Structure 1
């Protein structure tokens, strides 16, 4: 039995916050894709490389407000916000994860800057 979407989403945020890029690679499907506004990261290696080397701020924490389970165990929506190293809120996010055979196959991210 494969882990469900909620478990994988929790592991995803932990991997990002703790710079666990090997774990991140392990939980992403090779054909993983992330859509975020005008940006699309296509493929597990491109995504891991971006998160490890190119994202603007790496010393951040994802604070989760709510996990919203869909009717399928293969999809979860997560609402939260991202904090910098001083605890200041950078933005609010809504992530929709889709999983396949125990790995994250797709992530659609919506962000809103704090008012």
Structure 2
């Protein structure tokens, strides 16, 4: 898969609560740098998304994805269950061997 396909599948799997697919997109030692915490390791990130996110009934509305080989950047809004915007985000991805190795999230 190219980087854009991996990134789209990342958001789609979170929104669909498809944590098996989500796990398959992540490198075993993935690191997710978020504004509120850093999450290290595939199992820890899957567990967080499945069990510990403050709001699990959300969806990602993407406005832009740019990819450049082993990196990709995405912008969009996180929407609640009613389609209301919660906040805008920018995610930078590093892709290694077709899997996400690092994510850096910024919100506004």
| Alignment pair present for 1:13 and 2:11 | yes
Aligned residues: 108
2:39 to 38, 41, 44: 41
| Equivalent position SS for 1:93 | strand
Counterparts in 2 of 1:1-115, with a 5 A limit? Answer: 3-70=1-68, 73-112=69-108
| Equivalent position SS for 1:78 | strand
Q: CA RMSD in A?
A: 0.8
| Counterparts of 1:33 and 1:94, CA distance in 2 | 16
Stretches of structure 2 that go unaligned for 5 or more consecutive residues are none
Q: TM-score, normalised by structure 1?
A: 0.91
Stretches of structure 1 that go unaligned for 5 or more consecutive residues are none
Q: TM-score, normalised by structure 2?
A: 0.97
Stretches of 4+ aligned residues off by more than 2 angstroms: none
Q: Measure how far apart 1:12 and its partner are.
A: 0.3
| Counterparts of 2:34 and 2:100, CA distance in 1 | 16
